[in-house]
Amino acid sequence: MHWFFALTEGSTAFRQYAEMIMVAVHTARTFTSLLPHCIYDGGENDFTRWLARHDVRIIQHRSFLYDRLVELGRKKKNPHFAAALSGAFSRVELPELVARAGATGRVLYTDCDIIFLSEVVPALESNDCEYFAVAPESVQDDYINMNTGVMLMDTDRLRESLPVLREYIVENLEALENESWDQAAYRRFYRDEKGPLWDRLPPELNWKPYWGASQDAKIVHFHGPKPFQRDYIDSHWPELKFLAGGRYLELCDVWEELLKEAE
C-alpha cells in the first residue's frame, strides 16, 4: 500500500518536522510494507537527500491554496502562515496526486508526527472505506470529532468530489480556522442529513500518547505536543500540557532513540 505525507520547506519548524518524518519513514521501513511518498514544496537539501537515500519518492507540489493563505497571512501579519498550513492542505489534493506515484484506489495518508510500531497494511486493507476512514481525536470512542492525522483514503471515490471540496474550502477558508483548518473541511463537507459519511479506523491505528499504554497500538500519533516540544511545554506551550500525560514522556525517549537510528 502507498503511504503519503507532506511538508513545506518554508515552515518555521521545518527541521523539526523533517526529523519527525525521518522517524516515521525509519519505522515504516522497519515494521511495515508501506511504500512511502513525500508531497514536498521546497528545494533540494539534506532532508530531500535523506529521503532519496531511503527510497522515498518525492512529489513536488504546491497547494492550490498557497496564494490565498499568503493573503490571509498578510491580514494576520504572519509571514509564515502559508508555509505552516499549505502542507496540511496537500492531503485534500491527494486523489489527483496519487497518479504521479502510479497509485490508485486506497492509500494511507498521515501527518508527519507518527511512529509505526507494527505492520498496518492487512488492517488497512480489511477496513471499511467508502470515502475515507479515520479514528477518534481525543476521546477514544468519539467518531464524530474524528482526527485526520491518519487517513485511509479511497482516492478514486474522493476524486469525484474533489472539485466541489476545493470550492467549499476556498469559500469557507477563514471560517475553517476555528476548527483546525483542513480537518474541519473534512468534518463539515463529508456529511449529509443522516450524519458523517466517513468510516471508522480503530484507535490503535491513530493512538495518542496521552491515552497511555496499548499492546495493540500500531501507529502512535503525537497529537498535541511533539517530541521536540517536551522540554518547553511549561514555558512556551502551556496550552498543550493537558495532552502531555500518559506515555508522552516515555514515547519522547523512544522517539529520540529512533531518530538516532534514522540518521
So what's the pLDDT on residue 125?
97
Cα(first)–Cα(last) distance of the chain, in Å?
Answer: 25
Q: What is the pLDDT of residue 95?
A: 94
Can you give the pLDDT at residue 12? 85
Structural domain spans, the chain: 2-223
Instruction: Name which of 151, 140, 133 is nearest 208 in CA terms.
Output: 140
Lookup: cell for 147: 482526527
pLDDT given for residue 72 in this prediction: 80
Among 185, 38, 201, residue whose Cα is nearest residue 135: 201
Could you report the per-residue pLDDT of 48-86, keeping only the tens digit for each? Answer: 999 999 999 999 999 888 888 888 888 877 777 777 777
* Model pLDDT for residues 148-163, shown as the tens digit of each residue: 999 999 999 999 999 9
DSSP state of 102: T
What would the CATH number be for the domain defined by 2-223?
3.90.550.10
* Residues of the chain where predicted confidence (pLDDT) is lower than 50: none
How far apart CA 131 and CA 18 sit, in angstroms, is: 29
What is the model's pLDDT at position 77? 79
Helices 14-31 and 46-53: crossing angle in degrees, nearest 10, is: 10
Torsion over CA of 207, 208, 211 and 217, rounded to 10 degrees?
Answer: 20
State the Cα–Cα distance between residues 2 and 105, nearest whole angstrom: 10
